[in-house]
């Protein structure tokens, strides 16, 4: 066989998919041909690394149980002749979720720090829940003071924007130019439970500061036909509250929970910034 | 309950059997979904959709393929549907992976692993799927053909193309690094 024919067979040979006679012919050729042997070595190395490298793929017990519960719910609800599974709704821009709440001033709830005393006080943070109490206890108008407390709570560490961009499962997108001259000041990775990573982005500008905490995956609950991620900040999409000088917002969508802590001057300023932020899934 | 009895019970719609089948196969289905999507959240969703679809279709399961292979086929189809729905996201993921690929470090084993994972993430859906089925899930060519619903004779050539694409990505990343190192020195 010519080298080209041999090389076309190297993959199946390495995979053990060739009949013995063909495999023997390949091996005889490789003993005599340095170039093909080198080619085989490269291929073998790629395949070996490919087989060895892996994302952690163990199924967490909580996820196993939660998925079965959803399956049972779906099976219970099915008709004898079930329709095809529905498509997920289109992914919204962050602003679309928040707009109705912001537009309706009556829904804007003013609460004090004491209101947060209903939050659970014991136990480790669980997946996809963001407990902002440590943050609120430390921050006044200065978000970064509370941020340190939050990072301690969730084992957060500061990362470069480049490192953040390399997080395949976290899709954080900020346009280069944001209203009010806001720019990314610092980025952090946090741990939410065993398998969930969140990103925290602190934006600073002449008008103030804004903290976005984006948490993918995790514990979910049903909210109408949208699956939402539990968050201790609020149970409703687009929830927005005023806590002292801060505005704290919470947005849930099918794949992500975004908590917003704003020290911007007003709701309009926050709205203008959030309109530019795009969450992709 | 042996597998044949389990399948028969599932075909009668017995919930306990469905649960047993789920418990038996969900680790593999989840692992495949996670490897294909890279997202724990998507993998959990795909598990849900795949098992619901499997239980709806299990009356048509005729036992000609292994149950695990049949479930893999359903899982891959669910993932493909999701890919089609999320083409924008996928393009973005590929861009991210390309970024990672250009930032691969020294040629240590760890860096090799990182580079290979990054290159794998950056491949087309079809190339990534066939490589994962072969080298992560350990399926034979015949089983891959069943899962992907392709003629068995095409698997070797498709795998060749996928491996070549992976290698080209790795070489591109490596040459990018070399250029960068040369500029820095």
Mean pLDDT of chain B: 80
More confident residue, A162 or A90: A162
pLDDT band at A243 (very low <50, low <70, confident <90, very high): low
pLDDT band at A194 (very low <50, low <70, confident <90, very high): very low
- B88: nearest CB among A68, A218, A280: A280
Question: With an 8 Å Cβ cutoff, are B27 and A53 in contact?
Answer: no
Q: Give the sheet arrangement for strand A239-243, strand by strand.
A: A109-111, A239-243, A246-253, A256-262, A208-216, A196-205, A183-192, A157-159
A11 Cβ contact list (under 8 Å, min separation 6)? A43, B156, B159, B160, B163
Q: What is the chain B residue with the closest CA to A88?
A: B85
3-state helix/strand/coil string of chain A = CCHHHHHHHHHHHHCCCCCHHHHHHHHHHHHHCHHHHHHHHHHHHHHHHHHHCCCCCCCCHHHHHHHHHHHHHHHHHCCCCCCCCCCCCCCCCHHHHHHHHHHCHHHCEEECHHHHHHCCCCCCCCCCCCCCHHHHHHCCCCHHHHHHHHHHHCCCEEECHHHHHCCCCCCCCCCCCCHHHCEEEEEEEEEECCCEEEEEEEEEECCEEEEEEEEECCCEEEECCEEEECCCCCCCCCEEEEECCEEEEEEEECCEEEEEEECCCCHHHHHHHHCCCCCCC
Instruction: Kindly report, residue by residue over B143-179, the tens digit of the pLDDT.
Output: 999 999 889 889 999 999 999 999 888 888 766 544 4
Confirm if A38 and B158 have CB atoms less than 8 A apart: no
- pLDDT tens, residue by residue, A64-107: 888 898 888 888 776 443 333 333 333 334 434 343 333 322 22
Is the CB of residue B8 less than 8 Å away from at least one CB of chain A? no
Residue window 91-110, chain B: list those with CB within 8 Å of chain A: 92-93, 96-97, 99-100, 103, 109
Q: Pick the range with the lowest mean pLDDT from A24-33, A61-70, A154-163.
A: A154-163
B20 touches chain A (CB under 8 A): no
Q: What is the pLDDT of residues A35-44, one digit of tens each?
A: 999 889 888 8
Specify the pLDDT at position A270: 78
| pLDDT on residue B24 | 93
Residue A50 has pLDDT above 90, yes or no: no
Higher pLDDT, B54 or A78: B54
Q: Which residue of A has its CA nearest to B157?
A: A8
Interface confidence, given as ipTM, is 0.73
Please state, for a pLDDT cut of 70, what percent of chain A lies above it. 53
Would you tell me the crossing angle of helices A34-52 and B155-184 to the nearest 10 degrees? 90
Q: What is the pLDDT confidence band of residue A121, given thresholds at 50, 70 and 90?
A: very low
Nearest CA in chain A to B23: A64
Preferred mutation among B28, B41, B82 to probe A, highest tally of A CBs within 10 A: B41
**pLDDT surpasses 50 at A145:** yes
CB pairs under 8 A between A and B: 136
Question: With a CB-CB cutoff of 8 Å, which residues 107-136 of chain A face chain B?
Answer: none
Q: Which of A172-186, B55-69, B89-103 has the lowest mean pLDDT?
A: B89-103
pLDDT of residue A198: 73
What is the distance in angstroms between the Cα of B63 and the nearest Cα belonging to chain A?
23
Q: B158 or B81: whose pLDDT is higher? A: B158
Interface check for B160 against chain A (CB to CB < 8 A): the answer is yes
pLDDT at residue A239, as a whole number: 56
What pLDDT score was predicted for residue A140? 61
A168 — contact with chain B (CB < 8 Å)? yes
Strands A157-159 and A246-253: unpaired
- Chain A residue with CA closest to B21: the answer is A68
Report whether pLDDT(A115) > 50: no
**Confidence grade of residue A162 (pLDDT, cut at 50, 70, 90):** confident
Residue B35, pLDDT above cutoff 50? yes
The four Cα atoms A241, A246, A251, A257 give a dihedral, to 10 degrees, of -130
pTM for the model stands at 0.47
**Which chain B residue's Cα is nearest to A220?**
B41
pLDDT given for residue A273 in this prediction:
79
What number is the average pLDDT over the span A210-216? 77
- Asked if A25 is an interface residue toward chain B (Cβ–Cβ < 8 A), one would say no
Residue A51: list chain B partners with CB under 8 A. 135-136
A52 contacts B113? CB cut-off 8 A: yes
Work out the pLDDT band at A172, boundaries 50, 70, 90: low
Q: HSE-up of B172 (CA within 13 Å, CB side)?
A: 16
A77 touches chain B (CB under 8 A): no
Q: Which of B40, B113, B127 to mutate to test the interface with A (most CBs of A within 10 A)?
A: B40
Distance from CA of B133 to the nearest CA of A (A): 10
pLDDT at residue A103 in the model: 31
- Name the more confident of A108 and A96: A96
Token reading at A12: 């199946």
pLDDT at residue A257, as a whole number:
64
pLDDT of residue B3: 86
Residue-level pLDDT at A63: 85
How confident is the model at residue B52, as a pLDDT? 93
Distance of residue B23 Cα from the nearest chain A Cα, in angstroms: 8
Find which of B17, B48, B132 to mutate to test the A interface (most A CBs within 10 Å of its CB). Answer: B48
pLDDT at B86 > cutoff 70: no
CA–CA separation, B33 and B76 (whole Å): 8
């Amino acid at each position: 066989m010519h080298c080209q024919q041999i090389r076309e067979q190297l993959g199946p040979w390495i995979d053990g998919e060739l009949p013995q006679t063909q495999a023997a012919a390949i091996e005889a050729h490789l003993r005599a041909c340095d170039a093909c042997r080198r080619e085989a070595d490269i291929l073998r190395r790629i395949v070996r690394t490919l087989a060895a490298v892996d994302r952690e793929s163990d199924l967490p017990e909580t996820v196993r149980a939660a998925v079965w519960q959803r399956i049972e719910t779906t099976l219970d609800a099915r008709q004898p002749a079930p329709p095809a599974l529905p498509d997920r709704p289109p992914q919204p821009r962050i602003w679309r979720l928040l707009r109705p709440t912001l537009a309706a001033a009556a829904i804007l709830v003013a609460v004090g720090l004491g209101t947060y005393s209903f939050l659970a006080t014991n136990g480790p943070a669980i997946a996809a829940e963001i407990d902002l109490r440590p943050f609120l206890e430390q921050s006044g108008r200065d978000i970064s003071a509370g941020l340190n407390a939050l990072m301690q709570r969730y084992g957060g560490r500061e990362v470069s924007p480049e490192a953040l961009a390399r997080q395949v499962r976290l899709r954080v997108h900020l346009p280069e130019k944001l209203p009010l001259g806001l720019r990314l000041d610092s980025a952090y990775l946090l741990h939410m439970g065993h398998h969930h990573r969140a990103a925290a982005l602190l934006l600073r500008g002449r008008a103030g500061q804004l903290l976005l905490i984006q948490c993918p995956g995790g514990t979910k609950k049903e909210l109408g036909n949208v699956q939402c991620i539990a968050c201790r900040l609020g149970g409703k999409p687009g929830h927005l509250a005023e806590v002292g000088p801060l505005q704290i917002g919470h947005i849930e969508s099918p794949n992500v929970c975004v908590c917003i802590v704003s020290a911007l001057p007003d709701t309009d300023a926050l709205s203008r910034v959030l309109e530019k932020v795009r969450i992709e899934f | 309950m042996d597998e044949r009895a389990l399948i028969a019970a599932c075909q009668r719609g017995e919930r306990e059997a469905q649960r047993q089948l789920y418990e038996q196969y969900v680790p593999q289905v989840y692992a495949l979904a996670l490897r294909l999507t890279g997202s724990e959240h998507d993998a959990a969703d795909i598990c849900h959709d795949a098992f619901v679809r499997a239980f709806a279709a299990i009356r048509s399961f005729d036992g000609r393929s292994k149950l695990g292979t049949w479930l893999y086929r359903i899982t891959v189809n669910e993932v493909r549907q999701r890919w089609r729905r999320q083409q924008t996201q996928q393009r973005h993921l590929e861009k991210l992976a390309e970024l990672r690929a250009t930032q691969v470090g020294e040629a240590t084993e760890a860096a090799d692993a990182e580079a290979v994972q990054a290159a794998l993430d950056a491949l087309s859906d079809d190339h990534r799927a066939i490589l994962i089925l072969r080298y992560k899930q350990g399926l034979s060519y015949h089983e891959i053909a069943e899962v992907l619903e392709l003629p068995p004779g095409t698997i070797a050539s498709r795998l060749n193309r996928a491996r070549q694409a992976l290698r080209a990505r790795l070489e591109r990343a490596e040459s990018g690094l070399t250029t960068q190192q040369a500029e820095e020195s």
